[in-house]
Amino acid sequence: MDELEKVKQLLEAHQGKGNTISAGEIEQRLGYPTEDTHAKGRRLVERCAKKYGIPVSGDTSGYFIMTNQSELDEYKANLRSRAKKIQDREELMEKNFKGWNK
């Protein structure tokens, strides 16, 4: 069994918002050293979701498979909010750049 299949099995055991698994725990279960950023675990979850078409959501406590429309709606709202914050920061830096040292 390859590592993405193992991640799939881990995610399948974590369905619904109240049943999360962290990226760090995924790394540990696969035998990887855990790092502060848990970048390896996050990448594995993303690759697994793409490969198997899994509706994965995440929050500050970890990842889980979405099981209802409410969880999907909440996840989409979170993504839109994050995108808006990035766009606002981009616009601020553009404004600051144009006004710097004038």
Chain center to CA of 68 = 18
- Give the Å distances, CA to CA, from 69 to 17, 63, 66, 75, 76: 12, 16, 8, 10, 10
Digit-coded pLDDT (tens) for 38-89: 999 999 999 999 999 999 999 889 999 999 999 999 999 999 999 999 999 9
Digit-coded pLDDT (tens) for 75-96: 999 999 999 999 999 999 999 9
Q: What is the pLDDT of residue 49?
A: 97
Contact by Cβ (8 Å): 51, 6: no
CA triplet 87, 22, 17: central angle to 5 degrees? Answer: 75
Q: What is the pLDDT of residue 36?
A: 87
Give one DSSP letter per residue of 31-89, joined into a string. Answer: TPPP-SS-HHHHHHHHHHHHHHT--EEEETTEEEE--SHHHHHHHHHHHHHHHHHHHHH
Q: Is 102 helix (H, G, I), strand (E, B) or coil?
A: coil
Q: What is the pLDDT of residue 21?
A: 98
Q: Enumerate the domain spans of the chain.
A: 1-67, 68-102
Q: What is the pLDDT of residue 102?
A: 66
Mean pLDDT of 6-17: 97
Fold classification of 1-67 is Arc Repressor Mutant, subunit A (1.10.10)
